Structure 1
Amino acid sequence: MEKTAVADLDDSIQAAAVMRHLTEPLGLTDFAMNYYELEPGDSFAFAYHNHAVQEEVFYVISGIATFETEDGPVEVAPGEVIRFDRTEFQRGWNRGDERVVALALGAPLEYGKQVKLRHCPNCGEKTDNDLDRADDEAAVIACCKECGTETGRWYRGSMEGEVP
């Protein structure tokens, strides 16, 4: 048995105000689990993306999350759950005025190859992006795989250059 308090865990640099990894503290070996708090305009992910091998489930505890999907936007209210199959593109946002609190569950634990689509101002369209840490480890940076242009930069609790 493993037990942890979410508030005691370190916050991760993400596109969300708060993101805490629960996988390792709970000793999970077969699936991933993350806790999120999204301020208005925040997102669960750095890009519209998919996972080659992992299914994802989001359980919304409070607020309303809006997921960008291939079929259009889908709102998920408190007490509701949404599942994305392997290879299904999605990105969840807080488009409302209230903070969104949610859990994300993924199985298997590994993501596999991900395609991360973000708008590249140089290419003029959504392109696949690489995500890397800045040299000082203080930020996560997204860069277009086609031309190398930076398409986003996030610091703990804030983001720059994000186009929802």
Structure 2
Amino acid sequence: METVSIDELENSIQPAARICRLTDALGLTDVALNYYELEPGDSFAFAYHSHELQEEVFYIQNGTATFETDDGDVEVGAGELIRFGREEFQRGWNYGDETVVALALGAPQESGTQVTLRYCQHCDQKTDNSLDSADNESAVVARCTDCGTETGRWYQGPMDGTVP
């Protein structure tokens, strides 16, 4: 048995105000588990994406999350869940005025290849992107894999004016 306090876990660089990775903290071996707090304008992910091997379930505890999908936007409110199958594209946002609090579960734990689509101004379309640490900064940078153009940059905490 393992117990963990979310308040004792470190935040990581994400397009969300807070993400706590619970997988390792709880010693999980078959499922990935993350806790999120999204302030207005924040997102669960760096890009519109899919996972090759993993299906994901989001349980919204507070607020309303809007998920961008191939079938259009889907709103999920407090007390509701949404499931995405393997290779199904999605990206969740907080377009509301209150904080979204959510748990994200993924199984199996290994997600396989992840396709991350972001709009590239140079290519004038959504393209696959790579995510890397910025040189000499505590930041994550997204770059178009076709042309190398930077399509987003995130720092610790809320998005602070980065490109979503």
Contact 1:151 1:161 in 2 (8 A): no
Would you identify which runs of 4 or more consecutive aligned residues in structure 1 move more than 4 Å?
none
Deviation readout 1:75-122 (Å, 9 max, x if unpaired): 000000000000000000001000000000000011100110000011
How far apart are residue 137 of structure 1 and its match? 5.2
Partner of 2:126: 126
Q: For 1:136 and 1:26, how far apart are their aligned partners in 2?
A: 32
| Structure 2 counterpart of 1:142, one-letter code | A
Partner of 2:13: 13
Q: For 1:11 and 1:125, how far apart are their aligned partners in 2?
A: 32
Contact 2:39 2:158 in 1 (8 A): no
How far apart are residue 134 of structure 1 and its match? 1.4
RMSD value, Cα: 0.9
Partner of 2:72: 72
Q: For 1:80 and 1:48, how far apart are their aligned partners in 2?
A: 21
Q: For 1:161 and 1:20, how far apart are their aligned partners in 2?
A: 21
Deviation readout 1:118-148 (Å, 9 max, x if unpaired): 0001100100000011123500000000000
Q: For 2:135 and 2:155, how far apart are their aligned partners in 1?
A: 13
Matched, 1:161 2:162: yes
Partner of 1:35: 35
Q: For 2:136 and 2:129, how far apart are their aligned partners in 1?
A: 20
Contact 2:13 2:155 in 1 (8 A): yes
Where in structure 1 are there 5+ consecutive unaligned residues? none
Give aligned-pair identity as a percent: 66
Question: Which TM-score applies when normalising by structure 1?
Answer: 0.97
| Structure 2 counterpart of 1:26, one-letter code | L
Aligned length: 163
Q: For 2:120 and 2:85, how far apart are their aligned partners in 1?
A: 26
Q: For 2:118 and 2:85, how far apart are their aligned partners in 1?
A: 20
Question: Which TM-score applies when normalising by structure 2?
Answer: 0.97
